[in-house]
Amino acid sequence: MRGRPAVRRSALQACAGLAACLLALLLLPAAGRGEPEGEVDALPGGARYVAGELLVVYRSAPGLERALEATGGRVKEELPASDARLVVFPAVREKPSEALRERLLREKKRALEQSPAVEAVSFNYLREPLANPNDRYFGRQWGLRKIRAPLAWSRARGGGARVAVLDSGVAAGHPDLRGKIAGRYNTDTRTSSAGDQYGHGTHVAGIAAASTNNRIGVAGTCPGCRLLAVKLDGDGLITTTDLVRGINWAIGRRADVINLSLGGGGFSRPEADAIAKAWNRGAVVVAAAGNERSSRRTYPAAYPQVIAVSATTRSDARARYSNYGGWVDVAAPGGTSGTGGIYSTLPGGRYGYLSGTSMAAPFVSGVAGLLAGQDLANSQIRRRIQSTAADLGPRGRDPYYGHGRLDAAAAVGAA
């Protein structure tokens, strides 16, 4: 990244082509431990990463130390969810040219990959929220009606299942979220200060589990679920290291469901390991497919243990912005602009419309919470969500809707 001020400029550039870019920027969570210290560079395919940094999964710590000594790398951080270390190369980071930095970092990557002490090496990719925000109670929540949530509630309410929202934080004092938070964590400060000054995480949390039948505001997909609020940061960027720390914390707090309304390009072994660990500990992991109208794989959605969610409109059409591909599992309401968007909670006790695959993912997370409350295993929950989805588009699974559009009532056995 280009020094600290330029980190924000890179975030601005990343929003180009998205509707309501300015508001989207305001909703971007940030990187861990303050802003990343390097520049933000981009690979030819568009994936962005922290210049001069690599994530190294190792077999032998002493062997890794020797390999780093030979390549000029130093350990910046050890990641908790896998045998991986964040390695920085100061001599690469200080180069003025992005092309030169990329070439040198690729050379370091190849050199480390040749060491028998090293199992895998990847860039420290950036992850960004995947929403198309727009401006401005149950009557406005067409998404809940579309997935037949009210009928599902006659059979399942969530039973205290825990849904972790890894995002820009959650406004715990919101009237529709007050009393719903079971735990809070800030991956930057390592404290419980997980408030949301941007709104993205609060909006996502409301879709998943806002209070219901309390005579105010909106209803959540899983009324009986509790929320684990994980603030990945607050200055505009998310890195793989932020996400790994957040997932590991959620695992430790016994999350039944982990919602990731964020993403970006580039496979990351430590990120994949963290998600695999969450799955092996029994969590359902749900992620947004992305808003680039592209078939290019978005991570973390494209990891095998993740339920990748594309977006639909009020008329069950595929949202024009939604990513697609054989890696998409299901679709859910993500909406369009204005009142065609998804209505949910915002900081300051407010409500408003946002749209995007970021909004689609928490509908799926909410239904996963309903099923977790029925004491189903994560593998059963995933199969139930996929097998009961309403088939749209070409018969059977297709790249746009996956197995189909989410059907909460069918999933919980109420239909």
What span, in angstroms and rounded, lies between the C-alpha atoms of 18 and 16?
A: 6
What span, in angstroms and rounded, lies between the C-alpha atoms of 388 and 385?
A: 6
361-378 in b/e form (b: 16+ CB < 10 A) is bbbbbbbbbbbbbbebeb
Query: Could you tell me which residues come within 8 angstroms of residue 189 by beta carbon, excluding any fewer than 6 positions away?
Result: none
Q: Cβ atoms within 10 A of the Cβ of 307, count?
A: 26
H helices present in 253-354, as ranges: 269-280
Q: What is 239-257 written as a DSSP string?
A: EHHHHHHHHHHHHHTT-SE
What span, in angstroms and rounded, lies between the C-alpha atoms of 221 and 384?
A: 16
What span, in angstroms and rounded, lies between the C-alpha atoms of 183 and 164?
A: 9
Continuous segment of H or E residues that includes residue 354: strand 350-355
> What is the longest distance spanned by two Cα atoms in the chain?
65
**Helical packing angle, 240-252 and 269-280, nearest 10°:** 10
DSSP letter, residue 29:
-
405 with 334: CB under 8 angstroms?
A: no
Token pair for 228: 């684990």
Per-residue CA distances from 195 to 74, 208, 232, 378, 390 (Å): 33, 17, 11, 29, 36
What span, in angstroms and rounded, lies between the C-alpha atoms of 76 and 107?
A: 19
What span, in angstroms and rounded, lies between the C-alpha atoms of 167 and 400?
A: 25
Q: Please provide the distance, in angstroms rounded to a whole number, between the alpha carbons at the two ends of the chain.
A: 51
Give catalytic residue positions: 167, 200, 358
